[in-house]
Structures are given as structure tokens and as C-alpha cells.
Amino acid sequence: MATIKLDKAAWQTYFDRISKLVVGKQTEIEVASLSLGDQIEAEWVPLLGITYDPKNDLLEVLLEGLDHLIRHPRDIYVDQGPAGLTSMEVIDADDVQQIIRLRDPVMLPYSPPP
């Protein structure tokens, strides 16, 4: 896997492109800071999309049942493997670290009805 830091000028284009490829992936969001400690905000919930709005300087991670907003992201690192995006680390203006992990949904074997 290769972790790269995204240039802020490329955030909107990157997330517009990648969002379509990661829809439906299971997603975990971990938030860590000195004041909060380490907390899991979402645990393996289906991802509906990721967007960056440069006008409001807002990264939105839309999950089933949760709209996770990161205001004023300062740095974004993405980890990409052979299967595409596997995780992201976002550090906001308050030095809060937010780690978004992605994985494919577990496929259960098909059993035909009796």
C-alpha cells in the first residue's frame, strides 16, 4: 500500500472521482485528539459518498445513517492498495485526527431456498 498526501488543490477532483468507486464499502471512522481521546464514531457502516466543498472548506463522508462532516481539513493522506482506496487520514484545523477505513462488504454464500 502507498500512502500519499493529497494537494489541497486536488481535493475536490479526487473525491468527485473516488466517491463513485467506493460507494457501498464498509466504513469505520475513528476520531482522535488530545481533548477527546480515541473514539469510534462509526463502525463498519455502508458508505454512500465522499465530497469536498472548497467554498465552505468542508469534507463530507456520508454513511448510511450518519453524515460525518470535517470542517477546515488541513491535511489529507490517502492509502491506496491494489483494490483502490483502503483508508484516509484527515487532520483538521484543530489538530483532530480522523481516520476513515474502508473495506469490501462481506459476501455471504448464497443458499437457494429449500
* Tens digit of each residue's pLDDT (9 = 90 or more) over 78-103: 998 887 899 999 999 999 999 999 99
Question: Buried (b) or exposed (e) across 98-112, using 16+ Cβ within 10 A?
Answer: bbbbbeeeeeeeeee
- CATH architecture entry for 2-103: Roll (2.30)
Taking Cα atoms as reference points, which of 86, 62, 84, 89 lies closest to residue 73?
89
- H-only helix segments in 1-114: 11-22
The residues with which 79 forms a beta bridge, in sequence order, are: 3, 87
Low-confidence ranges of the chain (pLDDT < 70): 1, 106-111
Taking Cα atoms as reference points, which of 113, 50, 52 lies closest to residue 84?
50
To the nearest whole number, what is the mean pLDDT of the chain?
92
What's the pTM? Answer: 0.87
